[in-house]
Amino acid sequence: MLKKGILFQGLPGTEGGDYQDITYLFLYGISRNVLCRAKIRDMKREWREYLLEKADRSTYQSPAFWKMLKKEEKKCARIVLGLVEDLRNCDDGRAEKAWVCLRYLVRSGYRAEEEYLREKKEIPFSGLWELTGEGTGDLLLRSSRVCMCLIMAEEDHREIRTDRGLFLFEDSIKKTEDLWNNEKQTEHSESFGERKKELLYIFMPFNFWMNKVSAVGAGSGRKERKVLT
């Protein structure tokens, strides 16, 4: 069972063995997914309340992130954050229970991605980006889908072929982490629109490269999968 993997530590960094924190992207992807939200609503009330209390004590309290979510999305994200805290900080059965629930949420909400990973013998990183939907205007949501793919691939021992896109993706993750954790930046980001522009600017080099790769591989006639969000 996965314990100290991508969800536990984050994406392996390209320098010095450091890890890039994907927690906020993970919370964003789960809370914006309608299937995941439905599963969270079905959880027992007592457990939800316990997880909300855990989330309140978490260090992941960046206003710049939480203001990007609607009311129900924010509550779902806080519940998932409670699960993440149990996974990372509990040594008893709570950590195992948290992982079982997180794994269930990811695979319930991202079935198309799971099917793609199961069918492919070789998985290039550019293929993950193409799967998550070229028409998706929300780069943050699309990037969170990539993280879900990486989590499932790691658990299933499926190797992702790296390329320049992955390095740019890791760099974007690091910059978003800095944005959310920078109090001065948060104070100047007064509106949702301004925060979205900042995130778009961060992901622009990565998005440009991946669109370029997709354009080179166009014309294969393959239909794009529908991904539920």
Domain parsing of the chain, residue ranges: 21-216
Reported as half-sphere exposure (CB side, CA atoms, 13 A), residue 47 has a value of 13
pLDDT at 226 over 60: no
pTM for the model stands at: 0.79
Residue type at position 57? R
Q: Which residue has the higher pLDDT, 149 or 206?
A: 149
pLDDT tens digits, one per residue of 147-174: 899 899 888 888 888 777 777 777 777 7
CB 27 within 8 A of CB 145: no
Mean pLDDT for the stretch of residues 5-20: 67
Q: What is the mean pLDDT of the chain?
A: 78
Quickly list H helices, the chain.
6-9, 23-31, 34-41, 45-56, 63-66, 71-89, 93-109, 111-119, 125-131, 139-155, 164-181, 183-188, 192-216
* Straight-line distance from the first to the last Cα atom of the chain, in angstroms, rounded to the nearest whole number: 27
CB 210 within 8 A of CB 126: yes
Mean pLDDT for the stretch of residues 182-193: 53
Mean pLDDT for the stretch of residues 197-216: 61
Q: Which residue has the higher pLDDT, 112 or 129?
A: 112
Q: Which residue has the higher pLDDT, 178 or 23?
A: 23
Q: Which residue has the higher pLDDT, 28 or 140?
A: 28
Q: How many CB atoms lie within 10 A of CB 71?
A: 7
Residue type at position 13? G
Q: What pLDDT is stored for residue 205 in this prediction?
A: 62
Query: Which one, of 145, 129, 156, 169, lies nearest residue 20 by Cα?
Result: 169
CB 55 within 8 A of CB 86: no
Q: How far apart are CA 7 and CA 49, in angstroms?
A: 23
pLDDT band for 135, please (50, 70, 90 cuts): low
Q: What pLDDT is stored for residue 207 in this prediction?
A: 63
> What would you report as the CA-atom Rg of the chain, rounded to the nearest whole angstrom?
17
CB 183 within 8 A of CB 162: no
Q: How far apart are CA 71 and CA 107, in angstroms?
A: 24
Q: How many CB atoms lie within 10 A of CB 205?
A: 13
